[in-house]
């Protein structure tokens, strides 16, 4: 016996987006290992709608954890809540989404329990009784597989990779036992005061970390992002930017893709006037299909591009957006 | 203040792995992790912004620009002998002291084992001279885990305020005698302002501070400042708690990324319209 425990990360108003793929993967893995699938909701807000939705994704148990004495969204609170559930469920594996915040929760939980942790994972399997996580490292230039030898494994999983591995949402029974827990927050979490927590403005476009299509503009746009935005809208995708473009103020910092920005792994990445510096590649190397548009035939990004387009973005982007729209129009 | 620093292979170089699946380190271009310059800058900046109590200024160098002994910035690294390079760079930027946890038994430590050694080293320093803040960069450019600061905070039992893009320290007051730290951080969906009493663990993003370049004085000081080298025994840690023995993850294999088998290359003519149609067809074909 054993269990795979999945954090339903609801700091994000679009929490289903990260929970669904992790639960689907947990279901598949759990089914093969004979492990139960346990979903965890930390803090308030576990209403009937949440309960019904979570139950429909196939877990056996839904754990709802109330954290006393601290803000439930702090990594230390989440770490201690997950620890309590992992104990209760006799968990072999805890899955969290591999956002910056998810990695912190993974770090807390692993340190508290002395467990092995892998973050930024793109796959999880069980081999010879051990949890084995796959991931791309060094700006995507190497692939590694890493086994966890402790009784509990903590894995922060790339949500897109999980979605690609288990695309179908498992048919849930629609009934999952709800188990409620109360844990006392550690002193280090109780000491933290949340002075302000304001939602960032939401745009019409899909969020960068979750979008299936991302169009990234770099220095080669010369500061005019209208072509990037136009193509993103034509493809129903998000806009991203290189550090140069955000430093220049052509795009907000929140749109920076790369190792010090957002890590993305969309189905389609379009790099427009992006050189493909190693710092940037670190954040987009997991994209499924890479299209790069650059005037320089030797641009490093072409080394990782499935489609290399030697062209000037200023003319290509508007023309491409128009072509995409006309095809969608015809087919739709 | 303790600034955590790491010596990493140059990101622009052809990085590779040993037969034991460990990152090849010790190349001629290995250097201080660039993102740790941000945490050093934060530490130096905060120390400089904090007034020193009079009469306790025992800065032997007499160099007014450097932080005094009452407010030290200690650069701390865990790593092989070559990692001293990161400490030299930190000293050149203005760190007051440097501590190097160097022990054969540390080689091959995973993130949790590394955090265990870092936390023990911070405890060790804290016992000698109270530590107010442990500062870290947002990620090390080799592993890009961003989880060591969090794990260190958990092991020390100190509040963690991570990925800060603004940091402010308030000295002690009747309400919080030990002082407090306030940070602003931007998460995927929120902007937060968090406050915690000292001591605490803070990590900073590359948006927080603009790292200074070492001054000539700093470069000279970096050469004459002794580096305190300590081993696991000094920290009261058994060799089995670090390195491969103390790690609960094991890399099974590493492979270079497979070559792109079927790259499509399109070259535009003068106005780019010609390839736009071809590219749009390709995208539709691939289901976009
Ligand atoms: C510690 C650190 C962290 C970093 N983190 C990140 C990060 O997270 N994300 C990130 O992006 N960067 C990051 N960087 C910066 C990174 O090293 C590069 O400087 C940056 O990615 C380059 O951005 P770029 O491709 O837009 O610009 P450039 O490298 O200047 O490339 C511009 C490209 O546009 C092409 N071009 C020019 N005109 C046209 C045209 N009309 N049409 C088509 N192509 C054209 C050029 O041929 C060139 O290849 C980081 C750097 C450091 C030191």
Q: Does residue B67 have a pLDDT over 70?
A: no
Distance (Å) from the C-alpha of residue B132 to the closest C-alpha of chain A?
A: 14
CB half-sphere exposure, A89, CA atoms < 13 A: 34
Measured in degrees and rounded to the nearest 5, phi and psi for residue A209 equal: -70, -20
From A218, A2, A43, A6, select the one nearest A129 (Cα to Cα).
A2
Query: Which residues 202-241 of A have a C-beta within 8 angstroms of B?
Result: 207, 209, 213, 235
Instruction: Quickly state the pLDDT bin for A173 (edges 50, 70, 90).
Output: low
Residues of A whose CB is below 8 A from B190: 11, 197-200
Over the stretch B140-149, which tens digit does the pLDDT of each residue have? Answer: 888 788 899 9
Instruction: Quickly state the pLDDT bin for B51 (edges 50, 70, 90).
Output: low
3-state secondary structure chain B: CEEECCEECCCCCCCCECCCCCECCCCCCCEECHHHHHHHHHHHHHHHHCCCCCCCCCCCCCCCCCCCCCCCCEEEEECCHHHHHHHHHHHHHCCCEEEEECCHHHCCCCHHHHHHHHHHHHHHHHHHCCCCEEEEECCCCCCCCCCHHHHHHHHHCCCEEEEEEEEEEECCCCCCCCCEEEEEEECCCEEEEEEEECCEEEEECCCCCCCCCCCHHHHHHHHHCCEEEECCHHHCCCHHHCCCCCCCEEEEEEEECCCCCCCEEEECCCCCHHHHHHHHHHHHHCCC
d(CA B144, CA A296): 29
Please answer whether residues A85 and A114 qualify as being in contact, where contact means their C-beta atoms are separated by less than 8 angstroms.
Answer: no
The DSSP secondary-structure symbol of A172 reads -
Instruction: Quickly state the pLDDT bin for B59 (edges 50, 70, 90).
Output: very low
- What is the biggest distance separating any 2 CA atoms in chain B, rounded to whole angstroms? 76
A32 or B50: which carries more pLDDT confidence? Answer: A32
Share of chain B above pLDDT 70, in %: 92
d(CA A93, CA A304): 33
Among chain A residues, the shortest Cα distance to B139 is held by A260
- When scoring B21, B36, B147 by the number of chain A Cβ atoms within 10 A, the one with the most, hence best to mutate, is B147
Residue A189 contacts B, CB cutoff 8 Å:
yes
Measured in degrees and rounded to the nearest 5, phi and psi for residue A303 equal: -65, -25
| For range B6-33, the mean pLDDT | 85
**Residue B163: other Cβ atoms inside 10 A:** 25
Over the stretch A267-284, which tens digit does the pLDDT of each residue have? Answer: 999 999 999 999 999 899
B176 or A34: which carries more pLDDT confidence? Answer: A34
Beta-bridge partner residues of A145 = A134, B253
CB contact under 8 A, A148 and B248: yes
* pTM of the full structure: 0.90
Distance B143 CA to ligand 1 centre (A): 21
Q: Does residue A320 have a pLDDT over 70?
A: yes
Residues of B whose CB is below 8 A from A311: 266-268, 272, 275
H-state helical runs in chain A: 16-33, 48-56, 75-89, 100-113, 159-165, 187-190, 226-235, 243-247, 278-284, 313-331
| For range B42-64, the mean pLDDT | 63
- When scoring A188, A214, A313 by the number of chain B Cβ atoms within 10 A, the one with the most, hence best to mutate, is A188
pLDDT of B12: 78
Instruction: Quickly state the pLDDT bin for A168 (edges 50, 70, 90).
Output: low
Among chain B residues, the shortest Cα distance to A307 is held by B264
pLDDT of A2: 93
Whose C-alpha lies nearest to ligand 1, atom 2? A279
Share of chain A above pLDDT 70, in %: 97
Among chain B residues, the shortest Cα distance to A214 is held by B288
Measured in degrees and rounded to the nearest 5, phi and psi for residue A196 equal: -145, 135
Q: Which of A100, A215, A219 to mutate to test the pocket of ligand 1 (most atoms within 8 A of CB)?
A: A219
ipTM of the assembly?
0.90
Over the stretch A217-227, which tens digit does the pLDDT of each residue have? Answer: 999 999 999 99
pLDDT of B10: 82
The tokens describing A292, both together, are: 């790069």
């Amino acid at each position: 016996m054993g269990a795979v425990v999945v954090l339903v990360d609801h700091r994000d108003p679009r929490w289903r987006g990260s929970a669904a793929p992790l639960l689907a993967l947990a279901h598949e893995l759990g089914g093969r290992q004979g492990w139960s699938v346990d979903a965890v909701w930390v803090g308030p807000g576990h209403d009937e709608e949440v309960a019904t939705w979570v139950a429909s994704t196939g877990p056996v148990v839904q754990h709802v954890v109330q954290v006393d004495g601290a803000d439930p969204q702090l990594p230390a609170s989440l770490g201690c809540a997950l620890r309590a559930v992992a104990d209760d469920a006799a968990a072999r594996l805890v899955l969290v989404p591999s956002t910056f915040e998810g990695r912190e929760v993974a770090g807390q939980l692993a340190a508290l329990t002395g467990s092995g942790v892998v973050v930024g994972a793109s796959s999880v399997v069980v081999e010879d009784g051990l949890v084995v996580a796959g991931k791309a490292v060094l700006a995507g230039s190497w692939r590694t597989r890493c086994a966890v030898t402790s009784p509990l494994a903590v894995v922060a999983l790339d949500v897109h990779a999980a979605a690609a591995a288990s695309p179908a949402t498992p048919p849930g029974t629609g009934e999952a036992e709800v188990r409620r827990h109360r844990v006392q927050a550690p002193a280090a979490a109780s000491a933290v005061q949340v002075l302000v927590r304001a939602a960032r403005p939401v745009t019409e476009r899909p969020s960068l970390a979750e979008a299936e299509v991302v169009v990234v503009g770099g220095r080669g746009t010369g500061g005019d992002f209208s072509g990037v935005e136009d193509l993103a809208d034509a493809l129903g995708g998000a806009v991203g930017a290189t550090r140069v473009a955000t430093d220049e103020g052509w795009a907000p910092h929140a749109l920076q893709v790369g190792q010090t920005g957002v890590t993305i792994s969309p189905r389609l990445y379009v790099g427009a006037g992006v050189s493909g510096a190693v710092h940037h590649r670190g954040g987009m190397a997991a994209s499924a299909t890479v299209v790069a548009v650059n005037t320089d035939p030797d641009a490093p990004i072409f080394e990782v591009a499935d489609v290399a387009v030697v062209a000037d973005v200023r003319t290509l982007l508007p023309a491409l957006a128009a072509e995409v729209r006309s095809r969608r129009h015809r087919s739709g | 203040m303790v600034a955590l620093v790491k010596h990493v292979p140059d990101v622009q170089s052809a990085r590779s792995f040993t037969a034991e699946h460990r990152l090849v380190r010790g190349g001629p271009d290995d250097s201080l992790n660039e993102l740790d310059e941000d945490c050093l800058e934060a530490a130096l900046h905060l120390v400089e912004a904090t007034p020193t109590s009079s009469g306790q200024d025992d800065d032997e160098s007499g160099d007014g620009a450097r932080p005094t002994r009452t407010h030290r910035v200690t650069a701390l690294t865990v790593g092989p002998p070559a990692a001293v390079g990161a400490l030299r760079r930190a000293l050149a930027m203005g760190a007051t002291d440097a501590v190097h946890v160097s022990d054969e038994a540390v080689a091959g430590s995973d993130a949790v084992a590394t955090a265990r050694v870092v936390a023990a080293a911070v405890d060790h320093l804290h016992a000698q001279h109270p530590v107010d803040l442990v500062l870290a960069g947002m990620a090390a450019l080799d592993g890009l885990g961003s989880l060591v600061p969090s794990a260190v905070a958990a092991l020390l039992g100190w509040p963690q305020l991570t990925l800060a893009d603004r940091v402010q320290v308030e000295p002690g007051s009747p309400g919080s005698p030990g002082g407090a730290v306030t940070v602003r951080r931007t998460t995927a969906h929120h902007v937060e302002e968090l406050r915690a009493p000292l001591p605490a663990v803070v990590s900073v993003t590359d948006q927080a501070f603009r790292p200074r370049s070492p001054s000539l004085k700093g470069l000279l000081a970096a050469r004459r400042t002794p580096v305190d080298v300590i081993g696991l025994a000094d920290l009261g840690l058994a060799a089995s708690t670090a390195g491969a023995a103390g790690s609960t993850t094991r890399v099974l294999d590493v492979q270079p990324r497979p070559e792109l088998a079927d790259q499509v290359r399109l070259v535009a003519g003068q106005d780019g319209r010609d390839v736009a149609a071809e590219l749009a067809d390709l995208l539709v074909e691939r289901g976009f």
